[in-house]
Structure 1
Amino acid sequence: MTASMQDNLRYWRTSLADGALGEGKFTRSDRKRFVEIPTAALKTGLLPEEVLDQVFRGQTSVKAVAIRFWPLITARKSSHGAARAGGLPDIVAPVVTEATVDRGGQITPLRNALARDLLTPLLSGEFAIGSVDALDAFLTETPLPDMSGDDAWENYLGHCRKMVDAVSHGWPRGDADYQPIGSGFLELAEDANATVRAILDLYDKLLAEQPDTPLLKQIAQPELTVADPDHRIEQEFSRRLGHSNPNFPLAQQQRQVLAWLDASAPGEVIAVNGPPGTGKTTMLLPAVAGLWVRAALRGEVSPESWRRRLHGEPPLPRHLA
């Protein structure tokens, strides 16, 4: 595995990990999407009945649900009853916790971090309270404590405070723009979290073991080539058995793609790139028409089923593989 390929993998891993850290800047209207956690529940880790009703709504058979919550919410200070201008976020919630909550209301934290959009490096002028490097150093030295003991919630709150202090000591104490509101935010977590973790593990494995990965090499380190159309490939064009349009011929590049498709072996990937309106869908329909005729001749699938697949084909995206 080349050094540049490893750099690409590290960049992809970092980008994915950054996205998994979640967000910590919100507008006032964003509050509508969250379930608010009252102050008493933040102190004990037990959700009241009215919050549990919202969390388990429609979840009749499950014993616990995955949640994401923000235990420290700060709001932009008002000046003489009006919100201040200046472009700062309305709400800043630095700590993002992934957890489960059971039907008894007990929150069990599983992962604790700070929102990536509050940590440098960021775009110039963006509000931040600290750096990613400081967070990484803290989490390396001080991972989330075990959450199974009687003092688990107290340990969790201590971890939150130490984590914020590690990037911005004492924040938001002394901040001229923000003050805590006393409650927290909660939302149901998406199922994507486990998928993200599995992909991060795969990146780590590839970087550690550096196996031979021909397909990954094509994606992570493609060769930039500019080639003229290969007219020899169109000698295979006679193998095509169907076409979808009796009125308009194919353009040269469309014929090239169809010829490559017909000459390709099972499992090969042919990428077709182009902006909207350059004939990707028009090119694909004759390809399917050829498959339709060939399959019908072999008795593998009825032409009627292929006709249904061809009918109403939606526009294709910019990249077709």
Structure 2
Amino acid sequence: MNKKLLKYWKNCLLDAEWSNSMFYKEPRVTLAFEDRMPESIPEEDIELLFPDGREDGKKCKVRIAPCVLLPEYENGKPIGKMFPEYPFFITATLGPDGSLQLPENPMDRVPMFVRKFLSPNAKDDRTLASLDEVDSLLSAFKTDVATEEEYWKACEALFRKATGMTFAEMNYPDQPEMVITKAPVTGMAQNILRLYDKLLDCKEDLPLLECLTRCECEPSLPLPARREIYANKRHLAQMSSDFPLSVSQRETLAMYTHPRGSRIFAVNGPPGTGKTTFLQTVIANRLVHSVLTDREPELIVASSVNN
């Protein structure tokens, strides 16, 4: 099994989970920089962060950008981005009274570097540290802190080890600041990330996954002849006769049932082109095949990314 590819897929998912692309679109509060976590957010600023209001008594997660990458100039012209960028975030809990507290979940206490600033990265992006170095530091980061002060110092110590700079040094020289926004909704990918971890630790052979991660092209099958499409002996059933299969669906089924077909079969198309109807036909086909061959029905698992 190609574990390098699995790790790459996991890291891509992590990057998407922790992307800061929405940061610039969210309402934000700018506070004067302090060498510690701010104690609270003024009530009028909370209303700015949560224009639709907050549930009474409910705590919310926010994230703090304690440093800023300023635009760089050469010969009077900007190099790269012309606006400030925020490369590092610390999560905090916003209490009902506006106080900023230590996150209750230890996993939320792990600070976050924005991936684009870690090498290897695009040549136009600025580099603060290497991904391997940051991964090593984050793996050793201790979340069992007792106070907000300890938490802040631990986050800055990690940042300094990775970049060689403090929060104040990577900031506006005259009026350093920190920016606070609502924390993005994360955790949606946690089950998939845990699955990746299990697969990476697995010592058993996983034939289907081996087939998926094999970096080789499967031999292309020719488009079936007209007779194979319309008189497909391996087309045993379909879910309903209300919607007969279209030409493209019949062609796809003929490819799927071909004896030399791959163990992994991908079908894509715009909404409304019959992918679900095709899938129903595949399921009906497999069930009838089990009956005709006097075998136990196969275990069929269905999954969706959007419902």
- So what's the TM-score if we normalise by structure 2? 0.66
Residue 78 of structure 2 aligns to a residue whose secondary structure is coil
- Classify 1:107/1:172 alpha carbon distance in 2 versus 1 (closer, same or farther; 3 Å): closer
Q: Does 1:155 align with 2:153?
A: no
Aligned residue-pair number: 262
**SS in structure 2 opposite 1:67?**
strand
Deviation, 1:227, is 1.6
Q: In structure 1, what is the equivalent of residue 88 of structure 2?
A: 95
8 Å Cα contact 1:96-1:114 kept in structure 2: yes
Q: Per the alignment, do residues 180 and 25 of structure 1 end up closer, same or farther by CA in structure 2, a change over 3 Å counting?
A: farther
State the shift of 1:156 in Å: 2.5
CA distance, structure 2, for counterparts of residue 287 and residue 170 of structure 1: 57
Residues 1:146 and 2:167 aligned together: no
| Corresponding residue of 1:167 | 162
Q: How does 1:262-277 map to 2 (within 5 A)?
A: 271-273=266-268
The alpha carbon displacement at 1:139 in A equals 2.5
User: Which residue in 2 is equivalent to 1:318?
Assistant: none
Compared with structure 1, are the counterparts of its residues 62 and 271 closer, same or farther at alpha carbon in structure 2 (3 Å cutoff)?
A: farther
Cα displacement (A) at 1:66: 2.1
SS at match of 2:102: strand
Q: Match for residue 39 of structure 2?
A: 45
User: Is this contact kept in 1: 2:116–2:122, CA < 8 A?
Assistant: no
Change (3 A) 1:62 1:8: farther
What's 1:14 paired with? 11
Q: Is the 8 A contact 2:6 2:196 kept in 1?
A: yes
List runs of 5+ in structure 1 lacking aligned partners: 292-321
Deviation of 1:106 after TM superposition, in Å, equals 2.4
The answer as to whether partners of 1:9 and 1:203 remain within 8 angstroms in 2 is yes
**Structure 2: tracts of 5 or more residues without a match:** 104-108, 283-307
Residue among 196, 201, 226 paired with 2:194: 201
Q: How far apart in 1 are the matches of 2:179 and 2:169?
A: 23
Which residue number in structure 2 is paired with residue 71 of structure 1? 66
User: Is the Cα contact below 8 Å between 2:65 and 2:86 reproduced in 1?
Assistant: yes
Q: CA deviation at 1:155?
A: 1.8
The aligned counterpart of 2:252 is: 257
Give SS of 1:91's match. Answer: coil
Q: Structure 1 residues 260 and 75, CA, compared in 2 at 3 Å: closer, same or farther?
A: closer
Structure 1 residue 60 corresponds to structure 2 residue 55: yes
SS at match of 2:79: coil
Question: What SS does structure 1 have at the residue aligned with 2:110?
Answer: strand
Give how far 1:171 is off. 5.5
Letter in 1 for 2:9: W
Q: Is the 8 A contact 1:38 1:184 kept in 2?
A: yes
8 A Cα contact 2:110 2:143, kept in partner: no
Q: 1:162 to 1:290 in 2, by over 3 A?
A: closer
- Of all paired residues, the percent bearing the same amino acid is 21
Q: How much does 1:112 deviate?
A: 0.9
Q: Which residue pairs with 1:113 in the alignment?
A: 112
**Correspondent of 2:221 among 224, 227, 242:** 227
Could you tell me which amino acid in structure 1 is paired with residue 136 of structure 2?
Answer: A
Alignment of 1:310-321 (within 5 A): none
With over 3 angstroms needed to count, the CA separation of the structure-2 counterparts of 1:125 and 1:262, relative to structure 1, is: closer
CA pair 206-269 structure 1, distance change in 2 beyond 3 A: closer
* Greater fraction of residues in strand: 1
Task: Return the offset for 1:257.
Answer: 2.4
Letter in 2 for 1:86: I
Which amino acid in the other structure matches residue 9 of structure 1? L
1:68–1:189 CA contact under 8 A, matched in 2: yes
Corresponding residue number in structure 2 for 1:122? 121
Q: CA offsets, 1:155-184, max 9 Å, x none?
A: 223223222222221357777x96475332
Aligned equivalents of 1:216, 1:39: Cα separation in 2? 51
With the length of structure 1 as denominator, give the TM-score of the two structures.
Answer: 0.63
Contact 1:75 1:178 (8 Å CA) reproduced: yes
RMSD (Å), alpha carbons: 4.2
TM superposition outliers: structure 1 runs of 4+ over 6 Å:
172-175, 260-263, 288-291
Residues 217-243 of structure 1: per-residue CA shift (max 9 Å, x gap) = 454348613123272871355856455
